[in-house]
Structure 1
Amino acid sequence: MDAVDRISFSVAAGEFVGYLGPNGAGKSTTIKMLTGILTPSSGRIRVAGLDPSRQRTALARRIGVVFGQRTTLWWDLPLRDSLTLVRHLYRVERSVHRTRLAELTELLDLGSFLDTPVRQLSLGQRMRGDLAAALVHDPELLVLDEPTIGLDVISKATVRAFLTRLNEEQGTTILLTTHDLGDVERLCRRVMVIDHGQLTYDGSVQRLRETVDVDRLLIVDLADSAPPIEVDGARVVRTDGPRQWLAIPSDVNAAAVVAAVAGRYEVEDISLREPGIEDVITRLYRTGVPTRS
């Protein structure tokens, strides 16, 4: 079985693209081919006009890569020293590095732990350090593999805000793989979904919502416990005492269902939950392809 199978896509300069898929779908294989770690058995790849596997050194000077579960920093050195070593690796001029480090220190709020050994940093601090290391040489493309994995809410917000500014203000192209669909909703204007080595979707988050049929959820609190609610256009999927959850298909008028429930039952509270991106992606994984054009 091929890890990836006839995948074809292009990413324009300045885009922020989410590359999604379940475990084993082919995401990491794709990333490793794009960054020159793996050589494809067939096909053609160009990143910034270069062949990644044959021109890996030249490509490294034009891209930055961050793997959320692996650090590129030196464990026993202060973060500042790690970033200095990275400067030498990329042959960045001292004055350019000084200016760039000052920018990254402000944007990523590194100042309070620049002189702390990497091994003493929290996970969120280390991730910000890894981002700085990947950007010291001012790459035109940043490839991120699970950059917010394991981070607390505040650290996630800091990383997301930084990536948004990096993309919007500096025009850095960003390719993001993640299982955190909050990252996708807050960051990506375009998503590609890969499953079983094949690209099953490529487009906007909004169009993905409109393309994949996912039920909305009506949550009804009745005055007392009762048998499952029976109304046209909806079905009960769960009950818990007086609270019932009804699934409403995307092609059914939700207002009509709400009116029917309110007209037939003694209702204390009612709310409608639209499907989130996680629901949409989960459905797409299960069906393999969009159910509507």
Structure 2
Amino acid sequence: MIIAKSLHKTFRIPVVKQGRLQGLRTLLTRDYRLVEAVKDISFEIPKGEFVGYIGPNGAGKSTTIKMLCGILHPTSGEVTINGRSPQKNRMELVRQLGVVFGQRTQLWWDLPVKDSFEILASLYKIGKPAYRRQLGKLSEVLNLRDFLDTPVRKLSLGQRMRADLAASLLHDPELLFLDEPTIGLDVLAKKQIREHLRLLNRELNKTILLTTHDMDDIEQLCSRVIVINHGQAIYDGTLEQLRGRIGLPTRMKITFREAIKQPSAHTPPFQIQMIDSRMMSVACNRQETTAMEVLQAMSAWGVIEDVHMEEPDFEEVIHRVYG
């Protein structure tokens, strides 16, 4: 559905002169520096996939999204959505796209939410019966009814984000680009947004590309993750493969039936972190050994009664990737 080939985006940034009369000197003699926001990024996203597109601030995430939407033109490379360029065929593709930029709204600030929806329905040429059906469905799923008549400027951040998500879905697009859709939301609002996104993807087969700094969003929603840093893609695959690639340890807490008896001569395939009477905490690298091999080795310490496993925290994995 989405194909990005060797995307580059370079911005020309004015250099501010220093010293006396710096404003006048900057105006009269302009110097520029080139900043590469995106460098040779390529990927393909098939229909129905939910992809996390993540990286630190300034990595090039939003710039990529804007090129995929047709808002920005790549300096070189190309993007196609269903075989068409979003830059050259933007009017034809706009009905297939829904976009949410978490720090900007597409709603009219002083108008009630419902009026903004009606303007967008008119822009997308949505018939009144179809508009009423879609608005009713979105109002129920996103719990919009309590503030449809409220001016956008009076909404809480959580309410505005739900209204913005609904606005992007009024025309029932096939493809959603979400740039920080849960930024600043409380736990309940995040849960509601995630549940609706999961429904859109799994039951309605919507294709979704999500950028976020909230690793819970990625873990709970995405089947695939693309990691970028300094404008370049440094990883593309599943969360499990990413954890394995980094090699962070899996932690296991084992409870024994009786007090632990350490073997006299034993080289375990794990690192002991804590021993306390009947409980033992260990760490192992799943690239080098399996959980079953660890448990078999631990049976020499006593009869195992209970096991609790903890995979590496995903945020820790991502920090390791960025580093």
What's the TM-score, normalizing by structure 1? 0.81
In structure 1, distance between residues paired with 2:104 and 2:220: 24
Aligned residue among 183, 203, 208 for 1:169: 203
Verify the 8 A CA contact 1:17 1:190 in the aligned structure 2. Answer: yes
In structure 2, distance between residues paired with 1:120 and 1:50: 39
Offset at residue 258 of structure 1 (A): 9.6
Change (3 A) 1:49 1:258: closer
Aligned residue among 275, 279, 290 for 2:312: 275
Aligned residue among 92, 112, 116 for 1:82: 116
* SS of residue matched to 1:150: coil
In structure 1, distance between residues paired with 2:176 and 2:204: 12
* Aligned residue type for 1:56: R
In structure 2, distance between residues paired with 1:233 and 1:98: 62
* Aligned residue type for 1:281: I
In structure 2, distance between residues paired with 1:236 and 1:179: 33
Verify the 8 A CA contact 2:86 2:93 in the aligned structure 1. Answer: yes
Root-mean-square deviation (CA, aligned residues, Å) is: 3.2
1:73 correspondence with 2:98: no
* Aligned residue type for 1:175: L
Partner of 1:143: 177
* Aligned residue type for 1:124: G
Higher relative CO (Cα under 8 Å, sequence separation at least 6) belongs to 1
* SS of residue matched to 1:170: coil
Aligned residue among 126, 147, 166 for 1:132: 166
1:181 correspondence with 2:215: yes
Partner of 2:15: none
Structure 2 unmatched runs, 5+:
1-34, 255-266, 275-280, 302-306
Verify the 8 A CA contact 1:48 1:62 in the aligned structure 2. Answer: no
Moved more, 112-121 or 31-40: 112-121
Partner of 2:26: none
- Higher share of residues assigned strand: 2
* Aligned residue type for 1:127: M
* Aligned residue type for 1:70: R
Structure 1 unmatched runs, 5+:
221-230, 239-244, 265-269, 287-293
* Length, aligned pairs only: 278
Offset at residue 57 of structure 1 (A): 2.5
Q: Tell which structure's C-alpha radius of gyration is larger.
A: 2
Verify the 8 A CA contact 2:269 2:297 in the aligned structure 1. Answer: no
In structure 1, distance between residues paired with 2:247 and 2:100: 34
Partner of 1:191: 225
* SS of residue matched to 1:8: strand
1:1-293 aligned at under 5 Å gives the runs 2-217=36-251, 248-250=284-286, 251=288, 273-286=310-323
Verify the 8 A CA contact 2:194 2:221 in the aligned structure 1. Answer: yes
* SS of residue matched to 1:46: strand
Offset at residue 249 of structure 1 (A): 4.2
* SS of residue matched to 2:45: coil
